[in-house]
Each structure stands twice: as C-alpha cells, then as structure tokens.
C-alpha cells in the first residue's frame, strides 16, 4: 500500500511480518521516504551582545531580511514556521525543498546598524543544527521544546 499526499510517500514493508501483540492489535511498520518539512535550530549572534531575549516577531524580521537579501522576492516568499524562541535561540520549520536555500541565507547574513554611542552593532545567525526530524535538534525526548 502506498499513499502520496502532500509530498510524502508512505509504504508498508511487504516483507514485514505482522504479529498480534498482547493487546490483540496487529503491529505494522511504515517508512516515510520524502519528509515534507525540514527543521532548523538557530542562535542569534550580536556584537556588542544585547541582554534582550529574542521574540518571534524579531526572529521573523531577521529571517525574512536574510532570505530577501540573498534571494530577493523569491527568498522572502519561502514559508517559515517559528516553532519556539528561547533566549537567543529559535527553532523553525521550512519546506524540505527550501532547506538549503534557508541555510545559505541565514548562515551568510549579517546586518550592521550604526549607533552614535556604541559604534557599529552587528547581528547574524549561527546555525546550530538542521534535520528532517525535529527530534534530532532537541536534547532529550523533545518534550522540552513545547514547554516554557
């Protein structure tokens, strides 16, 4: 059996043996061949360091700026879901086919703001991880991602 909905391909292994479990249900294996989403863990880097925490609106502004600077209107049209912000870090979800584009844009983006008192302040992103699976990016079992 194979289902292809929204870019994902699911197929049951025809060689897998089904065994009734102690509860009476049959166990089967499923393979996801083409994940729809990619997950990226980023850290905001600022010089001089800023004591303020990153919020979702600021993160989206910086991400859109990076994508627009490197890839123009096409880059700024890439859908980004912000899953969580914590201190200087952000976890995002992007379409799998745009993963390389997003990583290239945020990894090379630096914004410089001039200030009268402090001189130049620079802001950029550090890629801490990227994967097809969210669980690869979080320590533990992943439940801490959704706790405040």
> For the whole model, what pTM was predicted?
0.69
What are the pLDDT tens digits along the chain (148 aa)? 444 445 555 555 555 555 565 667 777 777 777 888 999 999 998 887 777 788 899 899 999 999 998 888 888 888 999 998 988 999 999 999 988 899 999 888 888 877 666 677 888 889 988 888 777 777 655 555 556 5
The residues pairing with 82 across neighbouring beta strands, listed in sequence order, are 92
94, 38 contact by CB (below 8 A): yes
Distance CA 79, CA 97 (A): 11
Q: Which residues contact 146 (CB under 8 A, 6 or more apart)?
A: 84
């Amino acid at each position: 059996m194979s289902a292809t909905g929204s870019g994902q391909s699911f197929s049951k292994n025809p060689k897998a043996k089904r065994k009734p479990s102690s509860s009476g249900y049959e166990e089967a294996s499923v393979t996801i061949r083409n994940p729809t989403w990619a997950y990226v863990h980023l850290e905001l880097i600022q010089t001089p360091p800023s004591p303020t925490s990153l919020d979702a609106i600021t993160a989206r502004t910086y991400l859109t700026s990076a994508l627009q600077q490197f890839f123009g209107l096409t880059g700024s049209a890439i859908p980004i879901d912000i899953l969580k912000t914590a201190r200087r870090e952000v976890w995002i979800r992007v379409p799998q086919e745009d993963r390389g584009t997003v990583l290239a844009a945020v990894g090379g983006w630096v914004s410089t703001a001039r200030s009268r008192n402090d001189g130049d302040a620079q802001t950029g992103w550090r890629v801490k991880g990227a994967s097809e699976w969210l669980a690869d990016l979080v320590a533990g079992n992943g439940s801490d991602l959704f706790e405040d």
